[in-house]
Amino acid sequence: MRRDETVAGGYPLKSSMHLLFMAVAILGNSQRLPAQALAPTPPMGWNSWNKFQCHVDENLLRQTADAMVQSGMKDAGYQYVIIDDCWQVLREKNGNTVADAEHFPSGIKALADYIHGKGLKFGIYSDAGAKTCAGRPASRGHEFQDALQYAAWGVDYLKYDWCHTTTQDVRASYALMREALDASGRPIVFGMCEWGTAKPWLWARDIGNLWRTTGDITDQWDSKDKQQLGVLNILDLQDGLESFSGPGHWNDPDMLEVGNGGMTIPEYQAHFSLWAILAAPLISGNDLRDMKPEIQQILTNREVIAVDQDKLGRQGRRVNKDGDLEVWARPLEGGKRAAVLLNRGTTAQPVTVSWSDLDYPGHMTAQVRDLWQHKDLGQFKESFSVQVPPHAVVMITVMP
Ligand code: GLA
């Protein structure tokens, strides 16, 4: 054996190379963080789409990051500042996506750096098809190149849409991008946005960290128009999906409309409370730079956020329905329960939650706390009843 064919340890060069390749392969695989590490609780942040659609630029994103800090939202748990559609204009000859230089003159990397400098994380948007929903360049055929580009920019979260996909296989398309993100070497949360059409909750557990379960939310309580989804329309579509969600892989009933002007304060409180019961990602969608105090108070209600972010990660379900009156509930760490007493109707009515609905012994006595009044209400035996205003909720925790 020639000297240059051996390496330290006396292994022949060929088998040393083999060991090296194996090590690289193992390391390569281990770069794939378990989904649970990427999104152990539902992601919290802000996304530009609901309020701004295509009217986005780097100043809006920077000011939103500033506002997320100043408003107390960062301290309350919000992390991701996510640019949705319309940041991209074309592809260069080498295949790289080019950001709109008019609206993002400093470039995406500088924007990500600014957001990271605030102690926040940065999210971006693309689409599995030929074009995004707004007709911008999308990622089909460029998955690995785009993922590397995102990693180089410092992207922490990708929302991946499903427009212009013609005959593409949905599972293969999303799995391909997951693979590309893993290969980029940067941990990137993967938000799938195919609107629940192919029931991603049945197959995407190891692909997406969250997946949309419905079409787009609109800023209304209850839409009678079948083409539009308000809060209650989306809520009804979540019933039965609860067993598919958990740490690392969340059902996503779409971003929040809290503060966008189409609903009353009690309706926005109900929207936020119900999303927390559903263990939904809490992605605000309003103008954080210009929030009324009552909107800021909704978005930063730490007691409601604590329910959403509960470590057990168990999505709630509808445990009782009597006409317009419903109870939605979920188990929390330490044997507690959270419950939302919902009045969908137009007159105030009493709503009751019985302990047996919460999978407790019926005769039990438990401590009840109101999460919007921030008040302990006392001990209650068997059940708790409260007058709930129209189009509103009372949200409580129950502790035996
Ligand atoms: C789809 C998505 C929305 C938004 C737009 C952007 O409709 O569902 O959330 O991302 O595309 O064009």
48: left (phi over 0), alpha (psi -120 to 50) or beta: alpha
- HEC string of 325-386? EEEEEEECHHHCEEEEEEECCCCCEEEEEEHHHHCCCCCCEEEEEECCCCEEEEEEECEEEE
Are both 282 and 356 inside the same structural domain? no
Q: Is the CB of 127 under 6 A from ligand 1?
A: no
Do the bridges between strand 189-193 and strand 210-212 make them parallel or antiparallel, or are there none, so unpaired? parallel
Cβ–Cβ < 8 Å for 87, 56: yes
Q: Give the residue carrying structure tokens 């392969």.
A: 25
* 149 and 247 co-located in one domain: yes
Q: Answer yes or no: do 277 and 328 share one domain.
A: no
Shared domain check, 256 and 114: yes
Asked whether residue 239 falls in the same domain as residue 347, the answer is no
Looking up residue 344, the CATH number of its domain turns out to be: 2.60.40.1180
- Is the Cα torsion angle 382, 387, 390, 394 positive or negative in sign? negative
Looking at 283, 308, 333, the residue that finishes a domain is: 308
Substitution candidate for ligand 1 out of 216, 217, 228, 252 with most atoms within 8 A of CB: 216
CATH, residue 156: 3.20.20.70
What pLDDT score does 32 carry? 73
Number of domains the chain contains = 2
Low-confidence ranges of the chain (pLDDT < 70): 1-31
Over the stretch 117-167, which tens digit does the pLDDT of each residue have?
Answer: 999 999 999 999 999 999 999 999 999 999 999 999 999 999 999 999 999
Distance between Cα 161 and ligand 1 center (Å): 7
Ligand 1 contact, 257 CB (< 6 A):
no
**Is residue 57 flagged as an active site residue?**
no
Considering the domain architecture, whether residues 13 and 115 belong to the same structural domain is answered as: yes
The sign one gets for the Cα dihedral 311, 312, 313, 319 is: negative
**Other CB atoms within 10 Å distance of the CB of residue 201:** 20
Same domain, residue pair 51 and 19: yes
Are 274 and 327 in contact by the 8 Å Cβ rule? The answer is no
Pairing of the two strands 282-284 and 44-47: parallel
> H/E element holding 284?
strand 282-284
Please answer whether residues 158 and 126 qualify as being in contact, where contact means their C-beta atoms are separated by less than 8 angstroms: yes
HSE of 141, CA atoms in CB hemisphere, 13 A? 11
- Ligand 1 neighbourhood includes 134 CB (under 6 angstroms): yes
Please give the pLDDT value at position 23.
Answer: 42
Do both 154 and 277 map to the same domain?
yes
Q: For atom 1 of ligand 1, which residue has the closest CA?
A: 133
Task: Name the domain boundary from 262, 281, 308.
Answer: 308
Residue 265: give the domain boundaries: 3-308
* 213 and 342 both lie in a single domain: no
Question: How far, in Å, from the CA of 278 to the mean position of ligand 1?
Answer: 21
Q: Is 178 helix (H, G, I), strand (E, B) or coil?
A: helix
Are 241 and 291 in the same domain?
Answer: yes
Same domain for 261 and 299: yes
- In this predicted structure, what is the pLDDT of residue 374? 98
Residue bearing the CA closest to ligand 1, atom 11: 133
CA distance 364 to 354: 10
Residues 263 and 327 in one domain: no
Determine the length of the chain. 400
Tokens 């809006």 belong to 60
Separation of 133 CA from ligand 1 center, angstroms? 6
Nearest atom in ligand 1 to the alpha carbon of residue 255 is: 9
54 lines ligand 1 (CB under 6 A): no
Last residue of a domain, one of 308, 337, 358: 308
* Per-residue pLDDT, 31: 60
pLDDT digits (tens, 9 = 90+) for 276-331: 999 999 999 999 999 999 999 999 999 999 999 999 999 999 999 999 999 999 99
| CA 203 – ligand 1 centroid, Å | 22
